Amino acid sequence: MSTTDCALQIRDLEVRYGPNPVLNGITADVTRGERVAILGPSGAGKTTLFRAINGFVPYSSGNIRVNGVEVGSTRGRALRLLRSRIGVVSQRHDLIENLSVHQNVMAGALGRWSSWRALRFLCWPLPHELEDARAALGRVDLAHKLRSRTSSLSGGEHQRVAIARALVQQPFLLLADEPIASLDPELSHQILALLCGLAQESHVTLLCSVHQPELAERHFDRIIELRDGKIVADRKPDSVAVSAESNR
């Protein structure tokens, strides 16, 4: 696979908290536009992997390249620029409750905006900025919530606003860390379908960690299974499992 096609390249990655490796010898290439499920029990290292890709966790050996940029050796402004193009959706509770929905959504643009523009937007949003927010919310079917209070959103809406915020980043890589952990099964399907649909639409690479194998089989192009910090399987979804799941 040529490097230009490769959105994410991980080689022999090792991350340690203290003496114990949390991630050990992870190697994977992810093509542009690919939708990958990271499957594994709690403590398998899924969140750590995402945080390492984002440059929040240093790694002790190996390397991670996002769009050809080595994450571990990137600092300051360059790291901020890199992060501004990596969308993150995590478990609930990462929106700012005291900001309204449109402010939370446009926070996705903070990586591109100057500090003064950010302050001005808080006090005095311009019509075209609100239009951008409305458009992003429209893609997650929440355009009518533009001016709502964030604290009034339901769990599913909360998650969709977080997705809209990630979309405003115009990401080439989308990291979803257990986006459905606190949602019921029906909503889980909806959110995953939405994420995968949006990723396909905008040709964005998607990495999404989930607990439930059947959901991974159903929605994604590829499944990487993690256990105790190691990759135990890297495969295409099992068509038998999918049909068994849909026949139930």
Residue 162: Cβ-neighbour burial (10 angstroms; 0-12, 13-18, 19+) = buried
Residues 93-112 as x/- pattern, contact with another protein by CB under 8 A: xxxxxxx---x---xxxxx-
Rounded to a whole number of angstroms, the minimum distance from the CB of residue 162 to another protein is 7
**What is the C-alpha R_g of the chain?**
18
- Least distance from another protein to the Cβ atom of residue 161, Å: 11
Nearer to another protein among residue 31 and residue 74 (C-beta):
74
User: Least distance (Å) from another protein to the CB of residue 197?
Assistant: 22
Binding mask 40-79 for another protein (x = CB under 8 A): --------------x-x----------------------x
Smallest Cα–Cα separation from 195: which of 226, 168, 219, 223? Answer: 219
Binding residue for another protein, selected from 7, 36, 66, 162, defined by CB under 8 A: 162
Hey, what are 144's tokens? 């009518």
Separation CA 201–CA 218 (nearest Å): 18
Residue 139's nearest CA partner among 201, 83, 97 is: 201
Nearer to another protein, 195 or 216 (CB): 195
Residue 159 in contact with another protein, rule: CB under 8 A: no
Q: What is the dihedral of CA 229, 230, 235, 239, to 10 degrees?
A: -60
Among 122, 193, 233, 244, which residue sits at the site for another protein (rule: CB under 8 A)? 122
* Residue 155 C-beta: closest distance to another protein, Å: 15
Kindly give, in sequence order, each residue whose CB lies less than 8 Å from that of residue 62, ignoring residues fewer than 6 positions away. 10, 11, 12, 13, 14, 25, 26, 27
* Interacting residues toward another protein by CB under 8 A: 54, 56, 79-86, 88, 90, 93-99, 103, 107-111, 113-115, 118-119, 122, 162, 165, 169
